[in-house]
Amino acid sequence: MKIAIAADHGGFELKEQLRERLTTFSLTDLGTHSADSVDYPDFGASLAKRVASKEFDFGILLCGTGIGISIAANKVKGIRAALCHNTYTAEMARKHNDANILAMGGRVVDIELATQIAQTFLNTAFEGGRHARRVDKITALE
């Protein structure tokens, strides 16, 4: 399973910490590579396009709140980015929504919770069935 991770300056520190924690996964770091101020849509769109093209199976996006970068990612066709603040929403994002990008806020969740959220997201499968019909309706909106 190939996973890409990216952040703006608001998520930079959490990205660095997650890279150290998520060692059982194949993680590719798409930046940013310092705490200098950058624009979250650039990083959200760049990663999202590479997930949409199937270069990566899943993405993890981090900004200060997780809001801006998830909004940007969701503009890319084929992307379902879910902003999660706990393990329950991460589990449901995969089981019910077949989310392909996890977004979190570096100023919202600490590294312990973020690690649990990411592990839950990456280890949970889509349930399909009635949920596939609903996800198909989301795709039809694109």
29-47 exposure pattern, b = at least 16 Cβ within 10 A, e = fewer:
ebbbeeeeebebbebbbbb
Q: Is 32 in the site for ligand RB5 (CB under 6 A)?
A: no
**Cβ(138)–Cβ(131) below 8 Å:** no
Q: Is 40 in the site for ligand RB5 (CB under 6 A)?
A: yes
Active site residue 63: yes
Residue with tokens 């993405």: 59
Q: Is 64 in the site for ligand RB5 (CB under 6 A)?
A: yes
Q: Is 68 in the site for ligand RB5 (CB under 6 A)?
A: yes
Residue nearer to ligand RB5 on the CB measure, 113 or 135: 113
Active site residue 96: yes
- Strands 101-105, 81-83: pairing is parallel
Give the residues lining the site for ligand RB5 (CB under 6 A). 8, 10, 40, 63-65, 67-68
* Residues taking part in catalysis: 63, 96
